[in-house]
Amino acid sequence: MEKEKIENLEETPKEVKKEKKKKDHHNDELINKLELALTEEKAKSIRVQAEMMNFKKRKEDELASFLKYANSDLITDLLPIVDNFERAIKMDSEDPTDEISRFLEGFKMIYTNLLNVLNKCEVKEIAADGVEFDPKYHQAVLTEKDENKPSGVVLEVLQKGYMYKDKVIRPAMVKVNE
């Protein structure tokens, strides 16, 4: 019986070692799984932070663009008024005593003030008369053949075009040479 006890005692450390190895192996697997999960969560966190930063930058850009062109609707509504003033001023007669001429002097002052306001808002007229046709800035509504001028040149401006800062808010309507 003592012999059996001694043999059991000798086997016990071996079994304990095996058990310990199993536990260590199990713990190593658990640690590896936890490290992998932690790495994945860190990557997710970094992606979410990057997405939030991109979203914030996109929103800031949208807001800056919105603020930059905030007056474009108002300016677009004012342009037909400018056109009408220009038409009225073209009716000016040579006679300074003419009643229409006196009214037109007032129109000219209003027109000048309106142009000054548009210039302060960074509204610029698009150069069109005599320049080469550019579809970014011009809208061709008519064509005509003029032998004295090169092909693709604007012959006449039918309606002025305007830029607001760096954006075309109304292209110039033009007649282009064929």
Q: DSSP state, 132? A: B
CA distance 80 to 88: 12
User: Residues 97-141: pLDDT tens digits?
Assistant: 667 777 788 889 999 999 999 999 999 999 999 899 999 999 999
Following DSSP, what letter does each residue of 94-122 receive, concatenated? S-TT-HHHHHHHHHHHHHHHHHHHHHHTT
pLDDT-based confidence at residue 95 (cuts at 50, 70, 90): low
Q: What integer pLDDT is reported at residue 10 of this predicted model? A: 53
User: Residues 70-86: pLDDT tens digits?
Assistant: 889 999 999 999 999 99
Q: What is the mean pLDDT of the chain?
A: 87
Q: Where are the alpha helices (DSSP H) in the chain?
A: 2-68, 72-90, 99-120
In a 13 Å sphere around the CA of 164, the CA atoms on its Cβ side amount to: 19
User: Residues 11-53: pLDDT tens digits?
Assistant: 556 666 666 667 777 788 899 999 999 999 999 999 999 999 9
